[in-house]
Structure 1
Amino acid sequence: MPDTPLKQAQPLDISPRPSACPGLWRIVAARDGGICRVKLPGGALSAAQAEAVADAAERYAGGVIEATNRANLQIRGIGNEHAALVRYLLDAGLGPREAAGDDVRNLMLSPLAGLDPQRVLDTRPLAAQILALLENTPAFHQLSAKFAVQLDGGEALAMLDHPHDLWLSALTLDGEPWLGFGLASSPAAGPVLGAVRQERGLDLVRAVLEGFLAHARADQSRMRQVLESMPADTFVQSLALDLRRDPAVLGWRRARTPVSWLGRLAQSSGRALGVAPPLGRLTPAMLRGVARIAREWGDGSLRLTPWQSLVLPHLDEAWQPAAVAELAALGLLCADDQPLARLIACTGDSGCAKALADTKADARALAALLGPGAPASVHLSGCPRSCAAAHVAPATLLARAPGRYDLYLRDPHVPGFGLLRGSDLTLKDAGALLALQTEHLDD
């Protein structure tokens, strides 16, 4: 891939504004080197782009690639060649050529958007419009690099628990698709604050973003902060939109269909395959292997998921057993009954100065101790920031020292991680306690 000149005169590792949140244009320092986050459009990635990420991780960094809980990729352990790395990724079509437009590309879709048999509508055309709006509207470049939008098409395979500053969810009213929306919450928790017809979805997003910028003080970077000083109904009424807010809308709740994101996945025509790198961490060989199978036995496309996994859509069913065997040989998880598929862990003290334990290594040790009664999702966090999980997991192990953790179980009546069930536990003690928590099986 040639290193072609870029239009920007500024150094490529300088963002238009400071932030601790990494991006394509902003390499953030960590204990194990720089971090570059590649924000993918709706999680979509071509096989060629996956290979470019693998090449870049080897050429300019230490070969560590992570799948994030917002369906993006990030490269860790980056050395001093920041400009060359960014140029390489830009040449692969992995971000905008204007730095200011990269921060705000925070739009999450279902990993099977447009393909899920349960979908109410195909969200991809509207998603493309929203991304163009965010990238190309200078006023919206003021938004925080963490300001997030979700577009939910009613799919069975959908992350419904991550909180977003704005979310839109498809519903059917009078036999037609509409888009309900909520603020500073998640589709699972609601509430729905109003709805517009499908074709007015872009107008709704524009109005909410403009309203946020109009009402937010300098110290308010997220929607939840604005709503602390302004009731949600007041904010909604300030929008210059014709919203439907009758009981059919305000009383609607997003239905949840339990479905695994690993193994064979249903799509409207054929099958997809879900695979996961253990604890969200990919090697270049893993990513190249997934890309090769997607090209040879699929349609050459991949999709990242908010479960730190990947989906290979349109995979030829006749070749799926061979694909699973090859991917498993690379170290990828292909079924949700594997213990590591139930664990989430942050970078830990090998890469983060704030972490109090080596959470990645501890998670691998804990996997061997988990019994069938343990929660479906256990999160090991090196510090209270909870970087690896965007919502509270059924069980959280919060590090307090190397190899020692406090155990919390999610409880809707208790803020934060939930109810403290054990303090200063060894991994063996934590595994024994987790095995007893049969009432917390569902995530």
Structure 2
Amino acid sequence: MLAAMSSALPSTSSQATAVSRDRGDACPGTLRLHAADDGALARVRIPGGVLGVGQAEALADAALRLGDGDLHLTSRGNVQLRGLRDGCGGELAGLLDAAGLLPSPAHERVRNIVASPLSGLDGRGLRDVRPWLSDLDAALCASDGARELSGRFLFALDDGRGDVTGLGADVTVRAAGDDALVALGSVDGAWRVAAGEASRAALLAAETFLDVARESGERAWRVDELAVPAAVLTRAVDRRLSEAGVAHVKERTDTRRTAGPPPGLVGDALCVHVPLGRLTGPQWRELTRVAASTRDTELRLTPWRGVVVPVGGLGTTDTADALDRLSAAGLVTDAASPWPRVGACIGRPGCGKSHADVRADAAGGLSAAGRSPLPLYWSGCERRCGHPRGERIDLVAVPEGGYRLTVGPPGGPTRTTVLTDPSQLATALAAINP
């Protein structure tokens, strides 16, 4: 057990350059739709990516009745519905509310929580994070202060394996034996608390961020946008935890990282990758049919645009048959596939700001991407929407046509070349890669 004390370990900031926000957060949600070129867009928060079969069917029904019929996975394990018809907001909200996907209208955009998707399924994590997920979501929805969080603010619950720790969350909780390490943005160090206090400590840290931003007069959507010194945040969190009676000790952050789940059978789970994050209606129905035949009857959406289906209760033959059916539906079940190494924003025609049909170009360059030493991400413009963290090759469409290819570590030296013809991707990759 932890002693009721707080150490004075110094903290230095590795925060990114502060960002000045001169407008309100326009991040879309379920009740605040975004107008895109292909119709309205709704972003449905799915804490931890966990969906019951009934909820999954409700999402598919909403997409078919009101939108383009597809479900679009985000880099936070959420779902976007696109191509929504005018005036459908009330009907959409009613459908999602009836399915339990809208527990608090005042908090629906701030329920951004990613969690280790294989937690409790493959024996690799230090603890099952599901209790943390349930507790944090409930506490978040019960907090009046949390309503002020931006729709971009992110919580991460890591079962100790290090998969979601590297996603750049604003508050990260990582299992550490009988305790948990709670980190705030990229501020050095973490607060060790008892595992039973992890969710409460995470919410207190988020509320402290809001307090510090308010006191400093800054409009910041994320922790690393604050211009205040890291020591100010550290002292404020120490004080907030102490006032709440949460025993804590500041210590160095665990920096070990692992990748997300590979496609295929992993432990007691079927893992599939969704090419470019777009699930058709038939693919979604096949996934829900598999989930409905299992003991847990749930799906887990991952921050890497994949889906994990716990297969407890299925025999070896049924599991192999399920993998075959998912593969036949166009989902990636082979870990050797190049698709998990390729990502793209929505591009044309869905986005009016895009300079290219990046998804078509990404699909056309799949073979070349499979031979690249780094993953690729295709963006239709400089905004690079949905861009994941980590080193990769960026392909950004330019107004005059073609793409600018850039590779290099964040904040470090980069190499750049130009791709005028997407069919020549292999040549461009050979020129830019060492």
Q: What's the counterpart of residue 8 of structure 1?
A: none
The SS at the match of 1:164 is coil
Q: Distance in 1 between matches of 2:284 and 2:156?
A: 26
Deviations 1:366-417 (A, max 9, x none): 1133353x03521001122222223144211111147611111132552xxx
The SS at the match of 1:170 is strand
Q: Pick the aligned partner of 1:429 from 424, 427, 434.
A: 424
Q: Cα distance 1:402–1:34, how it changes in 2: closer, same or farther (>3 A)? A: farther
CA contact (8 A) 2:270 2:309 kept: yes
Q: Distance in 2 between matches of 1:28 and 1:426?
A: 32
Shift of the alpha carbon at 1:421?
Answer: 2.6
The SS at the match of 2:349 is coil
Q: What's the counterpart of residue 364 of structure 2?
A: 365
Letter in structure 1 aligned against 2:287: V
Shift of the alpha carbon at 1:259?
Answer: 6.2
Shift of the alpha carbon at 1:145?
Answer: 1.2
Letter in structure 1 aligned against 2:422: L
Deviations 1:164-217 (A, max 9, x none): 111111113xxxx211122223xxxx7323211112213322331232122103
Shift of the alpha carbon at 1:420?
Answer: 3.0
Q: Distance in 1 between matches of 2:291 and 2:234?
A: 46
Query: Percent of aligned pairs with the same residue?
Result: 32
Q: What's the counterpart of residue 95 of structure 2?
A: 88
Q: What's the counterpart of residue 160 of structure 1?
A: 165
Mapping 1:199-348, distance limit 5 Å: 199-216=196-213, 217-231=217-231, 232-241=233-242, 242-245=247-250, 249-250=251-252, 252-257=253-258, 260-266=261-267, 271-297=268-294, 299-314=296-311, 316=314, 317-348=316-347
CA contact (8 A) 1:66 1:281 kept: yes
Q: What is the TM-score of this pair, normalised by structure 1?
A: 0.84
Q: Pick the aligned partner of 2:132 from 101, 110, 126.
A: 126
Q: Cα distance 1:258–1:104, how it changes in 2: closer, same or farther (>3 A)? A: closer
Q: What's the counterpart of residue 17 of structure 2?
A: none
Deviations 1:61-120 (A, max 9, x none): 121210111011111000022211221121122222x32121211111011223341211
Q: Distance in 2 between matches of 1:329 and 1:371?
A: 21
Which structure 1 residue ranges, 5 or more long, are not aligned?
1-16
Letter in structure 2 aligned against 1:90: D
The SS at the match of 2:364 is helix
The SS at the match of 1:71 is coil
Mapping 1:52-91, distance limit 5 Å: 52-80=58-86, 81-91=88-98
Q: Cα distance 1:312–1:75, how it changes in 2: closer, same or farther (>3 A)? A: same
Shift of the alpha carbon at 1:435?
Answer: 5.1
Q: Distance in 1 between matches of 2:131 and 2:263?
A: 26
CA RMSD of aligned residues (A): 2.4
Which structure 2 residue ranges, 5 or more long, are not aligned?
1-22
Higher relative contact order (CA 8 A, sep 6+): 2
Q: What is the TM-score of this pair, normalised by structure 2?
A: 0.85
The SS at the match of 2:184 is strand
